[in-house]
């Protein structure tokens, strides 16, 4: 399912990955076989009843994490990304052994951002909420956008660990893929995207973990701001970060489902809009 040129180029990809700045990553052009890409792209549909709405101060996007609700070709692709063959390939590129695929697709799956949506600069959560020994290690994001123009924004920004400089921008163009280490990687697309109303930013996100010997301290997604952001925005993101910590605690301690927490986040988000 992956383009043969990438399968035959592991040594160079591993060097690119380990030497990349501001954190370990590699970007693939034409990542998927053309037919696989076309089939998955055509199936993309987030109008399902169980689509998640991630709408709060730090992000405004939608996701589908239920594999059964996805198209047949998308299911085949995700099953391939979960396979021993693919995991072995990722281990050779990243140098990380014993990677584990997350069958629940927690916070992963199909993602869609509509006009004016955004994803604040952040560092990802470090453990799986339902597997306390699972340490999050790498992300794969495959972009499913037939058309995307630079002036619309939406490029994935990769920032240094002090959050002072954006070192690289990865545009979400057709069949591009980014693989990156999640240990201390600040990334996002913090400015509202300006695509036409009938076009959205589409992607498939898959997360991989390693299993540790002991339970890990749970650290929630750390949303942050840039030096150029206003004081008001910095305060809003600070308080939103506290809400996310509560969200993470509820997920891990009481096994509350994402859908329940989503309703709470939507409540806060709507109240925020009402006070504008």
Query: pLDDT tens across 178-201, in order?
Result: 999 998 899 999 999 999 999 999
pLDDT for position 32: 95
Q: Give the tens place of pLDDT for each residue, 101-153.
A: 999 998 899 999 999 999 999 999 898 888 889 999 999 999 999 999 999 99
If you search the block for the tokens 């240094």, which residue do you land on? 160
Taking CA 208 as the corner, what is the angle to CA 248 and CA 141, rounded to the nearest 5 degrees? 95
Q: Is 113 exposed, middle or buried (0-12, 13-18, 19+ CB in 10 A)?
A: buried
Residue 5 tokens read as 């040129």
Contacts of 96 (CB under 8 A, 6+ apart): 90, 137, 138, 210
Q: Which pLDDT band, with edges at 50, 70 and 90, does 254 fall under? A: low
* Domain spans in the chain, listed from the N-terminal domain onward: 4-274
Decide if pLDDT at 209 tops 70.
yes
For position 245, what pLDDT does the model report? 75
What average pLDDT does range 197-219 have in this prediction? 93
For every residue of 174-243, DSSP letters joined together read TT-EEEEE-SS-EEEE-SPP---TT--EEEEEEEEEEE-SSPPPP---EE---TTS-HHHHHHHHHHHHH
pLDDT of 270: 47
Rg of the chain over CA atoms, in angstroms?
A: 18
Q: Residue 202's pLDDT is what?
A: 97
Rounded to whole angstroms, the Cα distance separating 243 from 19 reads 35
Are 163 and 122 in contact, with CB atoms under 8 Å apart?
no
Q: Is residue 273 predicted with pLDDT exceeding 50?
A: no
Q: Over range 150-166, report the average pLDDT.
A: 94
**pLDDT on residue 256:** 54
Confidence class of residue 20 from pLDDT cuts 50, 70 and 90?
very high
What CA–CA distance (Å, rounded) separates 178 from 26? 6
Q: Which of the four pLDDT bands, split at 50, 70 and 90, describes residue 276?
A: very low
Tell me the C-alpha distance between 175 and 50, whole Å. Answer: 26
SS3 75: helix
Class of the 4-274 domain?
Answer: mainly beta
pLDDT-based confidence at residue 229 (cuts at 50, 70, 90): confident
Cβ proximity of 218 and 248 under 8 Å:
yes
Buried b (16+ CB within 10 A) or exposed e, 65-93: bbbebbeebbeebbeebbeeebbebbeeb
Q: What is the pLDDT of residues 44-69, one digit of tens each?
A: 988 766 788 888 888 999 999 999 99
Average pLDDT over the chain, rounded to an integer: 88
Average of pLDDT values for 76-99?
96
Structure-model confidence comparison of residues 42 and 262, the more confident one:
42
Query: For 29, how many CA atoms within 13 A lie in the half-sphere containing its CB?
Result: 0
Question: What percent of the chain shows pLDDT beyond 70?
Answer: 88
What is the arithmetic mean of pLDDT over 155-184?
95
31: tokens are 């990542």
Where does the pLDDT of residue 258 fall: very low under 50, low under 70, confident under 90, or very high at 90 and above?
low
Between strands 59-64 and 52-56, the pairing is: antiparallel
Whether 22 has a pLDDT exceeding 50, the answer reads yes
> DSSP code of 107?
T
CA–CA gap between residue 17 and residue 25 (Å, rounded): 5
pLDDT at 251 (0 to 100): 65
Q: How far apart are alpha carbons 92 and 36 in whole angstroms?
A: 23
pLDDT score at 29 = 95
| pLDDT given for residue 227 in this prediction | 83
């Amino acid at each position: 399912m992956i383009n043969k040129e990438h399968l035959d180029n592991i040594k160079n990809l591993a060097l690119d990955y380990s030497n990349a700045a501001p954190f370990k990553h590699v970007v693939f052009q034409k990542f998927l076989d053309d037919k696989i890409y076309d089939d998955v792209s055509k199936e993309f549909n987030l109008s399902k009843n169980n689509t998640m709405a991630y709408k709060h101060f730090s992000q405004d996007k939608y996701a589908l994490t239920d594999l059964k609700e996805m198209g047949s070709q998308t299911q085949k692709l995700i099953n391939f990304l979960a396979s021993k063959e693919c995991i072995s390939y990722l281990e050779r590129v990243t140098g990380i052994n014993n990677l584990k695929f997350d069958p629940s697709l927690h916070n992963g799956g199909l993602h869609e951002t509509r006009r004016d949506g955004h994803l604040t600069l952040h560092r990802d959560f470090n453990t799986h909420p339902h597997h306390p020994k699972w340490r999050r290690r790498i992300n794969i994001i495959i972009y499913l956008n037939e058309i995307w123009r630079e002036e619309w924004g939406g490029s994935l920004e990769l920032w240094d660990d002090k959050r002072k400089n954006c070192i690289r921008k990865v545009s979400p163009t057709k069949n591009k893929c980014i693989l990156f280490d999640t240990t201390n990687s600040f990334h996002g697309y913090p400015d509202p995207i300006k695509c036409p109303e009938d076009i959205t930013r589409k992607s498939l996100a898959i997360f991989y973990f390693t299993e540790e010997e002991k339970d890990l301290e749970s650290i929630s997604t750390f949303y942050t701001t840039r030096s150029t952001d206003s004081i008001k925005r910095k305060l809003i993101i600070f308080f939103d970060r506290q809400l996310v910590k509560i969200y993470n605690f509820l997920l891990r301690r009481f096994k509350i489902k994402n859908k329940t927490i989503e309703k709470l986040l939507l409540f806060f988000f709507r109240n925020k809009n009402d006070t504008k």
